[in-house]
């Protein structure tokens, strides 16, 4: 392989790995001059790759969809995912590799010409209700995958369960599959905090073409955010625990599970607890720190049911 060919392949890999590169960034990565980068870009264009270029302070190069399907460069992990994934899909037993599969899909969507994209869209209705899809539009999922990869701010049209459509400006961090749904973990610019959105409730994704510096978020916090999002929602039974603990201390103690907590003066915190039954309320209250005093605001019917259940439990323990 000649130096120019190897360099062109390296350039193509960089263009596929990131949505936008400036000419100085590419020349630094490849160890060549900006003029050589321009020549290599022209060489890739001659091979059928559509590479858009812009000038100015924020100018650079971006790989776009073209008129025909050019060859793609795939990483080892992505190539394995395709080979194994196709066999498992044929057997109807795809269980793992969702994140790698989404990475491959994002690359394909990025360069797929319009005529092939229309064919994919024509197949979408037949696939929409397949097990595990969660009713997510392919375009939304791949747009969010690209935004996570490229660290690009987006505007979401989001409709929460039982709520009205909202517009949210976010910095996407990760897409996580859980219990048959996809969840977007992101930094909400309006709330100035981490939020999790169910992707099947996202109607549109607008790329704002504004980058951001990644915020540190350990994997265990990502898992906790998704778990809270899955379990938090409208409930048939509601109660409030008024805890003798300042809000800041309560939030530090409960982490993501402190969602919905509000200060009740400088020394107390109001924390909503709920579920499908009074037993769910009792389970939530059991997680309050040992030795912490609190009172419970609850409907009288639920209070009576909860008291009767606890009295039977105490009697059983003393028996």
- In a domain? residue 274: yes
Any alpha helices (H) in the chain, and if so which ranges?
3-17, 23-30, 34-46, 76-91, 98-111, 114-127, 138-150, 219-231, 247-254, 278-285, 300-318
User: Which pLDDT does position 78 carry in this prediction?
Assistant: 66
- In a domain? residue 70: no
Pair (303, 242) in one structural domain: yes
Is the pTM higher than 0.75? The answer reads no
Give residue for tokens 């969660």: 134
Q: What is the CATH number of the domain that holds 261?
A: 3.30.70
Pull the structure tokens for residue 64. 């776009």
Pair (151, 205) in one structural domain: yes
Q: Which of 231, 247, 274 is the last residue of a domain?
A: 231
Pair (242, 310) in one structural domain: yes
Pair (293, 265) in one structural domain: yes
Range 237-262 burial, b when 16+ CB lie within 10 A, else e:
bebbbbbebbbeebbebbebbebebe
Backbone φ and ψ of 204, nearest 5°: -140, 150
- In a domain? residue 221: yes
Q: Give the range of the structural domain holding residue 275, as residue numbers without chain letter.
A: 237-318
Instruction: Name the domain count of the chain.
Output: 4
Pair (106, 49) in one structural domain: no
3-state secondary structure (DSSP) of residue 226: helix
Pair (25, 99) in one structural domain: no
Pull the structure tokens for residue 181. 């749904």
Q: How many CA atoms lie within 13 A of 111 on its CB side?
A: 22
Pair (241, 226) in one structural domain: no
Residue 212, C-beta contacts closer than 8 angstroms, at least 6 positions apart: 151, 152, 153, 171, 187
Helix and strand totals (H; E) in the chain: 11, 11
Pair (243, 223) in one structural domain: no
Pair (152, 224) in one structural domain: yes
- In a domain? residue 132: no
CA distances (Å), 300 to each of 223, 234, 307, in order?
Answer: 36, 20, 10
Between 126 and 273, name the one with better pLDDT. 273
Across the range 239-247, mean pLDDT stands at 91
Q: What is the CATH number of the domain that holds 184?
A: 2.30.30.520
- In a domain? residue 28: yes
- In a domain? residue 69: no
User: Which pLDDT does position 88 carry in this prediction?
Assistant: 45
User: Which pLDDT does position 158 carry in this prediction?
Assistant: 92
Give residue for tokens 């795939």: 74
- In a domain? residue 93: yes
Q: Which of 40, 64, 88 is the last residue of a domain?
A: 64
Could you read off the pLDDT of 57-84 as tens digits, one per residue?
667 898 887 655 566 666 766 665 665 5
Q: Which of 210, 231, 252 is the last residue of a domain?
A: 231
- In a domain? residue 57: yes
276-285 contacts at long range (C-beta below 8 A, 24 or more positions apart): 276/235, 276/236, 276/237, 277/237, 278/237, 278/302, 278/305, 278/306, 278/309, 279/306, 279/309, 280/235, 280/237, 281/237, 281/239, 281/306, 282/306, 282/309, 282/310, 284/241, 285/241
Could you read off the pLDDT of 93-127 as tens digits, one per residue?
444 555 666 666 667 667 777 777 666 655 444 44
Pair (222, 241) in one structural domain: no
Could you read off the pLDDT of 5-18 as tens digits, one per residue?
888 888 888 887 77
């Amino acid at each position: 392989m000649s130096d120019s060919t190897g360099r062109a392949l390296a350039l193509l890999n960089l263009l596929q790995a990131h949505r936008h590169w400036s000419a100085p960034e590419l020349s630094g990565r490849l160890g060549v001059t900006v003029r050589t980068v321009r020549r290599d870009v022209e060489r890739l264009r001659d091979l059928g790759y559509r590479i858009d270029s812009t000038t100015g302070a924020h100018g650079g190069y971006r790989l776009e969809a073209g008129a025909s399907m050019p060859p793609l460069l795939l990483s080892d992990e992505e190539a394995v995912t395709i080979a194994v994934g196709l066999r498992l899909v044929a057997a109807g037993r795809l269980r793992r590799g969702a994140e790698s599969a989404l990475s491959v899909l994002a690359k394909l969507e990025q360069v797929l010409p319009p005529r092939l994209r229309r064919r994919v869209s024509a197949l979408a209705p037949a696939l929409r209700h397949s097990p595990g899809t969660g009713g997510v539009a392919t375009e939304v999922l791949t747009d969010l995958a690209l935004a996570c990869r490229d660290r690009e701010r987006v505007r979401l049209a989001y409709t929460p369960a039982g709520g009205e459509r909202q517009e949210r400006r976010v910095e996407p961090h990760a897409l996580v599959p859980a219990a048959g749904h996809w969840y977007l973990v992101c930094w909400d610019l309006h709330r100035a905090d981490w939020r999790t959105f169910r992707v099947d409730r996202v109607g549109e994704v607008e790329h704002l073409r504004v980058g951001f510096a990644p915020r540190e978020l350990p994997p265990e916090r990502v898992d906790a955010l998704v778990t809270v999002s899955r379990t938090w929602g409208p409930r048939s039974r509601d109660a409030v625990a008024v805890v003798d603990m300042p809000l800041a201390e309560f939030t530090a103690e409960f982490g993501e599970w402190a969602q919905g907590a509000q200060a009740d003066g400088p020394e107390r915190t109001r924390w909503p607890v709920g579920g499908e039954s009074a037993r769910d309320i009792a389970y939530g209250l059991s997680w309050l720190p040992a030795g912490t005093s609190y009172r419970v605001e609850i409907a009288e019917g639920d209070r009576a049911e909860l008291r009767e259940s606890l009295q039977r439990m105490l009697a059983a323990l003393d028996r």
